[in-house]
Amino acid sequence: MAKPIQSALIGQKFMGRAHSNAFGQVAKFFDLPRPPALHTVAARDGAELAAFAERWGWANHTTRWRDVAADPEIELVDVATPNHVHAEQSIALLEAGKHVACEKPLAGTLADARAMRAAAKRAAKKGRKTFVWFNYRRAPAIGLAYRLIREKRIGRVYHVRATYLQSWGGPGTPLVWRFQKKHAGSGAHGDLNAHIIDLARFLTGEEIVEIHGAVSRTFIQSRTIPGTRRKGRSDVDDAVLFLASFKGGAVASFEATRVAAPHQNANSIEINGEKGSLRFDFEDMNLLRFHDASDGDREGGWRRIMCTSAGNHPYAEAWWPDAHILGYEHGFTNMLADVCRVIARKKPELPIPDFEDAYQTQRVLEAALLSARNRTAVKLSEVR
Ligand SMILES: NC(=O)c1ccc[n+]([C@@H]2O[C@H](COP(=O)([O-])OP(=O)(O)OC[C@H]3O[C@@H](n4cnc5c(N)ncnc54)[C@H](O)[C@@H]3O)[C@@H](O)[C@H]2O)c1
């Protein structure tokens, strides 16, 4: 029996649940060279933690995350805490010799992201790996799009059109950490644009070289402080839109918002190329739309590909028969399967972003904010 990867998780709320589910499921569906073992969960709320650990199968629990760093049995730590603590926790964990899988965005600020990237570089010399939970890369439809682009089925890329539209951030939503710059870094931008920048870079395999213009808007500046009737200031954006270009000359538009009712989790990307186009919308996450220009004008149009065919679509063989469709949680489980493979020195099904990769996405986030603030174009070469 292969030696399990003793793993720990920090954070026990939204991502804590999504990741715990993946840790519990992954070895049941994937044949892994080394499966994970659920060693310890750490989070701040001691009152809830014991029940959380029992429900999700974590053997131990602690309110002191540094216990996890100090425990020599633990190899992999999953950081699922708010953005402002990613750097402190990830750097300490890497220095303690752990592999680290951190939630996105890599950090709230570019300076934190830069420090994390440097720590990852130092740790890599000792064989430590880093991973960032850009989970949408792990939808089989995105994986198929990635492969079709590598097979040159859409040829030269002309346009990338990416939008991530949500609607939960209206005036009735309280001042949770996501609306506070000191905790989140930014609002819809770091939360949602981070995902679609990552998808655009991943799919095209190209870097963004310039932001041509951007607009950032905070529509709701005052929100109720949770558990009180008092109001506090929301100092992050509710929406950020920007235009960009890629190294190969393709142009791109990105749009992230938390106030686009009735969209709920409308993460979509369309790529138009010389020989064809691709389109993905997370709310129909099992489908990839593919247009092959060689079909001609008479019969051309969007093909609707159900990406659940074992052997044809990434990760599909681990799951269910054709069109017995996958959901949100499968992206995390698929990613964890690849994390376990990489730690066991095997190839992942699809490339996983590490801290270096996520740092490049963070630079794009920063460049767009600078562009909005200064009302100018910003070259990525100016943002280091
Ligand atoms: N990949 C995705 O699609 C996705 C979706 C949602 C959130 N996220 C990211 O996941 C991270 C967590 O978001 P969430 O929605 O789970 O937040 P959340 O508020 O639901 O949970 C945060 C957890 O972190 C714990 N925590 C906070 N500060 C801590 C500290 N200093 N030490 C230890 N624990 C601490 C809290 O107790 C809580 O358990 C964020 O970086 C967010 O951007 C990613």
* DSSP letter for each residue of 144-187: HHHHHHHTTSS-SEEEEEEEEE----STTS---GGG-HHHHSSS
- In the reported structure, the alpha carbon of residue 15 is separated from the centroid of ligand 1 by a whole-number distance in angstroms of 6
Q: Is 207 helix (H, G, I), strand (E, B) or coil?
A: coil
Q: Answer yes or no: is the C-beta of 10 below 6 A from any ligand 1 atom.
A: yes
pLDDT at 1 over 80: no
Q: Answer yes or no: is the C-beta of 65 below 6 A from any ligand 1 atom.
A: yes
Q: Answer yes or no: is the C-beta of 43 below 6 A from any ligand 1 atom.
A: yes
The overall average pLDDT reported for the chain is 98
Backbone angles phi, psi at 215, to 5 degrees: -130, 135
Q: 296-321 pLDDT, tens per residue?
A: 999 999 999 999 999 999 999 999 99
| 314 neighbors 351 (Cβ within 8 angstroms) | no
Burial category of 273 from C-beta neighbours within 10 Å (exposed 0-12, middle 13-18, buried 19 and up): buried
Q: What is the mean pLDDT of residues 181-187?
A: 98
Q: Is 195 helix (H, G, I), strand (E, B) or coil?
A: helix
Q: What is the mean pLDDT of residues 270-290?
A: 98
| 17 neighbors 87 (Cβ within 8 angstroms) | no
β-sheet bridge partners, residue 239: 217, 257
Distance CA 42, CA 120 (A): 22
| 34 neighbors 4 (Cβ within 8 angstroms) | yes
Looking at residue 127, what is its pLDDT?
Answer: 98
- Domain residue ranges in the chain: 5-135, 136-321+354-374
Q: Answer yes or no: is the C-beta of 166 below 6 A from any ligand 1 atom.
A: no
Closest atom, ligand 1, to C-alpha of 176: 19
Distance CA 104, CA 350 (A): 18
What confidence category does residue 92 fall into, taking pLDDT thresholds of 50, 70 and 90?
very high
Q: Is it true that 5-135 and 136-321+354-374 share their CATH fold?
A: no
CATH 3.40.50.720 matches 5-135: yes
pTM of the model: 0.98
Looking at residue 319, what is its pLDDT?
Answer: 98
What confidence category does residue 262 fall into, taking pLDDT thresholds of 50, 70 and 90?
very high
Planar angle of CA 306, 311, 312, nearest 5 degrees: 40
- In the reported structure, the alpha carbon of residue 353 is separated from the centroid of ligand 1 by a whole-number distance in angstroms of 19
- Give me 31's structure tokens: 């044949």
- In the reported structure, the alpha carbon of residue 13 is separated from the centroid of ligand 1 by a whole-number distance in angstroms of 7
Burial category of 227 from C-beta neighbours within 10 Å (exposed 0-12, middle 13-18, buried 19 and up): exposed
Looking at residue 36, what is its pLDDT?
Answer: 98
Q: What is the mean pLDDT of residues 243-252?
A: 98
Q: Which of 10, 12, 15 has most ligand 1 atoms within 8 Å of its beta carbon, as the pocket-test mutant? A: 15
What confidence category does residue 289 fall into, taking pLDDT thresholds of 50, 70 and 90?
very high
- In the reported structure, the alpha carbon of residue 178 is separated from the centroid of ligand 1 by a whole-number distance in angstroms of 10
* Strand (E) or helix (H) holding 306: strand 303-306
β-sheet bridge partners, residue 37: 6
What confidence category does residue 343 fall into, taking pLDDT thresholds of 50, 70 and 90?
very high
Q: Which CATH architecture has domain 136-321+354-374?
A: 2-Layer Sandwich (3.30)
Q: Which of 12, 14, 90 has most ligand 1 atoms within 8 Å of its beta carbon, as the pocket-test mutant? A: 14
Q: Answer yes or no: is the C-beta of 80 below 6 A from any ligand 1 atom.
A: yes
Closest atom, ligand 1, to C-alpha of 194: 43
Closest of 46, 53, 50, 48 to residue 9, by C-alpha? 53
Q: Answer yes or no: is the C-beta of 331 below 6 A from any ligand 1 atom.
A: no
Distance CA 23, CA 7 (A): 9
